[in-house]
Amino acid sequence: MVRRVKILIFLIVFLSFSTGGVYAEIVLPYSIHWIDLELEVTGNADVVPTDRGNYIEWQREAAMRAQSKLMRNFVQAMSYLRIDAYDFFRDLLMREVEKNEVLFEYAESYKKSDIRYSDNTVHITQAFPLFGEKGFAWRLINTGADTGHFPDYEEYVFSAPFTGLVIDARGIGRLPSLCPRVFDELHQTVYSIDLIEKKAFQRWGAVQFTDNPDYSMFEERVGENPYRVVALKNTKLIETDITISNQDAKVLLQSEVTRKNLMEAKVLIVIDGLSEVIF
């Protein structure tokens, strides 16, 4: 119990002094791979010879320090990993303190790592999946508060069942986040995590991001016949959210089949320079 209390205090204090900005000149020991939906974290330590022990023991001690540093970096990454237009993970953990322990226990139990030894240093890299059976994001983010309650449009438009949704949001300054929202021109919510099923979010998150307009590599997610739309420029929205036209929203939501596919998070968003985005 004492150990757990110390963990919670450490996380809360650590997060409270973190900032939410990312500066290009700083090389951070963590990064998110949006296409693979992984958070990669590193930790390293010098091998320090002492009067006691031998080289194997010194390397082991360095590995333990590197792992401890990796854990600290994992926690610090929560200040940069954006959930939606309003919150970073830091904000969620500050607001719902009990989730700190869930996060720490997850990170402590996750054993898949790449350890590299040199004569003088030990370097550890861990790629933490955001979703899937071994992911951590879905353990902390609440979804499905209003599952399937998409806006209704009285005007009928011709449509067909679509296997998913592909939004081209290039050229309008959009940034990736774990839970982006899609609005129509009347600012009605066309898509958000409240509308999708919990199991779908656990499986692969709210959306798939890519910077390649060829979505064939994600056909499992959006299917063979997704509805393809171009996002509108909207300076009133925070850059993680997207606007589509009223007409596109009407066509998209006309079919119950399409709505069901949206509830299963079969959504792909194309944005610029994704490989250059840290968080």
Confidence of residue 11 (pLDDT cuts 50, 70, 90): low
Q: Does the pLDDT of residue 8 top 60, yes or no?
A: no
Host domain of residue 103: 2-140
Q: Among the three residues 105, 124, 140, which one is the final residue of a domain in this structure?
A: 140
Unique residue bearing structure tokens 């904000």: 91
| Pair (127, 196) in one structural domain | no
Task: Please answer whether residues 240 and 180 qualify as being in contact, where contact means their C-beta atoms are separated by less than 8 angstroms.
Answer: yes
pLDDT computed for residue 13 by the predictor = 44
pLDDT computed for residue 155 by the predictor = 82
pLDDT 10s digits, 24-76: 344 679 999 999 999 999 999 999 998 888 988 999 999 999 999 999 999 99
| Pair (127, 171) in one structural domain | no
pLDDT computed for residue 53 by the predictor = 80
| Pair (71, 128) in one structural domain | yes
pLDDT computed for residue 2 by the predictor = 45
Q: Among the three residues 105, 140, 175, which one is the final residue of a domain in this structure?
A: 140
pLDDT 10s digits, 183-202: 999 999 999 999 999 999 99
| Pair (36, 118) in one structural domain | yes
Range with the lowest mean pLDDT among 8-17, 60-69, 88-97, 144-153? 8-17
In a domain, 153, yes or no: no
On average, the pLDDT of the chain sits at 89
In a domain, 159, yes or no: no
In a domain, 218, yes or no: yes
| Pair (43, 9) in one structural domain | yes
- Strand order of the β-sheet with 189-191 is 189-191, 182-183, 242-243
| Pair (64, 122) in one structural domain | yes
| Pair (134, 221) in one structural domain | no
CA distances from 229 to 142, 218, 252 (A): 28, 16, 9
Q: Does the pLDDT of residue 207 top 80, yes or no?
A: yes
In a domain, 40, yes or no: yes
| Pair (89, 204) in one structural domain | no
Helices (runs of H) and strands (runs of E) counted in the chain: 9, 11
| Pair (188, 269) in one structural domain | yes
| Pair (53, 109) in one structural domain | yes
pLDDT 10s digits, 119-174: 899 999 999 999 999 999 999 999 999 999 999 998 878 889 999 999 999 999 99
| Pair (244, 207) in one structural domain | yes
In a domain, 17, yes or no: yes
What is the distance between the alpha carbons of residues 166 and 212, in angstroms, rounded to a whole number?
A: 11
Count: domains in the chain: 2
With helix as H, strand as E and coil as C, how does 74-92 read?
Answer: HHHHCCCCECCCCCEHHHH
| Pair (129, 185) in one structural domain | no
> pTM for this one?
0.86
Percent of the chain with pLDDT over 70: 89
